[in-house]
Structure formats: C-alpha cells, structure tokens
C-alpha cells in the first residue's frame, strides 16, 4: 500500500513539474528587442537583455556570467549593423550551436532595414568613428523598428511552428497599436521643423528622417569622438547663426557638463531622453520611450 502511494506521489510530481513545457530562453543585446520578444512570445518565453536601457550600446564589458547566460540560450536577437559587435566573441565563447550567426536561432534585427550613412570608402574603427558600416541606430525610427519587429515575429514563428499562431496573434495586435502611435507621433511633431535640436552622438538620423526634422549640430565631431574646445566653439557659432530656440537632447550615458556648457552659450535647454527601453523610468517599453522623446521635442 505504501509503495503504491509513493508511486502515485511520484507520478503526480512528474506530471506537475517534470513534463511541463519549458519556456524558450531568449537573450537579446538591446532592451528594445527584449521588449519585442516578450510581446511576441508572451508566456512561452523568458527574455533577458545584456544591456540596460541607460547604457551605451557601443560598449559592453563581458563577464563570465554573460558567457554562461548565452550557453543556455535557445535564441539570440541582436541589433546588427556593428552596434553590438561585442556579441561575436561572446557567441564564440558560449560554444552554443543554437545561437550561432547564420542559424535560425540568431536573429539579426537589422535585416531588411536600409542603413543610412554607409561610408563610400572603408572607415577604420581605429580612426575613432564607431559607425564604420553606416549608422546602426535605427532603433529610434518607429518605422524601422516595425520592420525589425515583423522580422523577429516571423523568425520566432518559423523556429517554433507549434507556437506560430500564438506569436502571430500577439504580433498583429502590437503592430496595430504601433501604427496608431506612429500617426500620433507624426501629428505631434508636424510643427517642430523650426525647433533647433542639438544632439550629442549621431544616434538620431533615422528619427530625424522619419519625422522630417534636422539636427542643428552634433556635440561629437565624429560618432564616438570627444569634442575639442575649438570644435565646440565652431559648433556654438553654427548653432547661434541659425537663430532658433531649441533643445540639446542628451542620452542617459552622455556627458552633461559639455551639454550644459553648449546650452548656456546658445540659449537652449538640456533634456535627458531615453534612447533605449528602460533608459529612464518613463521608458518602460518601446512605445513609452518614443512617446517621451516626441513629447520632449514637441513641447519646445
Ligand atoms: Zn553610435
């Protein structure tokens, strides 16, 4: 009798835990793609991101625990376009065949997005320019991110056909929501063409293109290069010559002293804005992140 009870107990335990479907482990480089994979994957996935939204995606210090995390991943989603170039040695070190580049387990979200500012001649990273293959910051364009979102939804559906209907249903609902927000953002920014916008790093080309805005100037002379005092003086003169009122958009990890100095010379205000999901407390997901940026500019 006791033996029978033990067997029943054991079977019961196996049924409730041992055979329960394991969640798909997705790892992303950027927090924006974590947000997307969670929307698409719902309760079928657990997603973690290497970068927090307030960190500079151009740089990442690898820890042994990051290799472990990648070793156990079922899927990896990267930005591509060389922004998260640091993932390549990490993939090698993880020795995980599931997420190798070129396999269906490694999604490069930049595929299908036309890159801006692709240099005509080869640019060497050692020259200080951190955009050697073109501008990788398409995440600030909602239209480009809609393409990336669809690409991720289709890639996840193809890899896990049993869940494809569920993933597609989640994806379609989000696309509808995103489309409505894109129209709203266009409306909010339609009168912002005359606002002077100075930015620090050139993360903004896709955003400006989409909303027909232009940069009044860049604090970095080249992406990734610190400005010299001479360069800053030239920038101040250039911005003042435009005779606009405006704003300096500072990303969360950028130097606020330099931004404040330039602002004091051109009469602009400095606004810290999130440029990845989780960059500030308002930016809890992709839509609220873009909302924050758009409303900051539209207020000026
Ligand atoms: Zn950059």
Distance separating alpha carbons of residues 199 and 241, to the nearest angstrom: 17
Specify whether the CB–CB gap between 86 and 59 falls below 8 A.
yes
How much distance in Å is there from the Cα of 243 to the middle of ligand 1? 28
Residue 19: what pLDDT?
Answer: 54
Domains 21-184 and 191-298 share a fold: yes
Ligand 1 centroid–CA 250 distance in Å is 13
| CATH class of the 21-184 domain in this structure | alpha beta
- 181, 183, 222, 241, 262 from 231: Cα distances, Å: 38, 38, 11, 15, 11
Task: Output the CA 131–ligand 1 centroid distance in Å.
Answer: 6
| Domain 191-298, CATH class in plain words | alpha beta
The dihedral region occupied by 275, where left means phi > 0, alpha psi between -120 and 50, and beta the remainder, is alpha
| Ligand 1 mean position, distance from CA 253 (Å) | 12
Ligand 1 centre to CA of 153 (Å) is 26
| Helices 229-241 & 256-266 angle (0-180, nearest 10) | 40
Burial class (CB in 10 A: 0-12, 13-18, 19+), 124: exposed
Report how far apart the first and last C-alpha atoms of the chain are (Å, whole number).
79
Tell me if the pTM is above 0.85.
yes
Domains of the chain, by residue range, sit at: 21-184, 191-298
| Ligand 1 is an ion; residues with CB less than 5 A from it | 223
pLDDT of residue 4: 59
Q: Return averaged pLDDT per consecutive 10 residues of the chain, 300 residues in all.
A: 54 50 96 98 98 96 94 98 96 97 97 94 74 95 98 98 98 98 98 96 97 97 94 98 96 96 97 98 98 96
- Please name the helix (run of DSSP H) or strand (run of DSSP E) that holds residue 86, with its range, or none: none
| Distance of CA 156 from the midpoint of ligand 1 (Å) | 27
Ligand 1 centre distance from Cα of residue 183 (Å): 27
pLDDT at residue 209, as a whole number:
97
């Amino acid at each position: 009798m006791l033996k029978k009870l033990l067997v029943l107990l054991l079977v019961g335990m196996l049924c409730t835990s041992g055979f329960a479907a394991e969640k798909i482990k997705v790892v992303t480089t950027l927090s924006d793609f974590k947000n997307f994979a969670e929307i698409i994957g719902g309760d079928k996935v657990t997603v973690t991101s290497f970068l927090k939204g307030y960190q500079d995606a151009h740089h990442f210090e690898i820890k042994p625990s990051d290799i472990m995390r990648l070793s156990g991943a079922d899927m990896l989603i990267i930005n591509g376009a060389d922004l998260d170039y640091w993932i390549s040695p990490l993939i090698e070190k993880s020795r995980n065949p599931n997420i190798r580049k070129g396999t269906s387990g490694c999604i490069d979200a930049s595929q299908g997005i036309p890159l801006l500012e692709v240099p005509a001649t080869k640019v060497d990273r050692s020259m200080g320019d951190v955009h050697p293959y073109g501008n990788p910051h398409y995440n600030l364009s909602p239209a480009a991110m809609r393409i990336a979102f669809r690409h991720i939804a289709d890639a996840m559906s193809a890899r896990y056909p049993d869940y494809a209907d569920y993933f597609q249903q989640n994806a379609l609902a989000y696309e509808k929501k995103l489309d409505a927000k894109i129209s709203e953002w266009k409306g909010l920014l339609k009168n912002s063409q005359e606002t002077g916008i100075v930015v620090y790093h050139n993360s903004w080309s896709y955003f400006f293109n989409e909303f027909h805005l232009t940069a009044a100037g860049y604090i970095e002379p080249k992406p990734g290069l610190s400005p010299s005092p001479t360069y800053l003086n030239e920038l101040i003169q250039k911005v003042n010559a435009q005779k606009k009122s405006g704003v300096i958009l500072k990303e969360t990890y950028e130097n606020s002293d330099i931004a404040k100095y330039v602002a004091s010379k051109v009469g602009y205000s400095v606004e810290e804005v999130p440029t990845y999901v989780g960059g500030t407390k308002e930016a809890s997901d992709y839509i609220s992140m873009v909302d924050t940026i758009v409303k900051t500019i539209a207020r000026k």
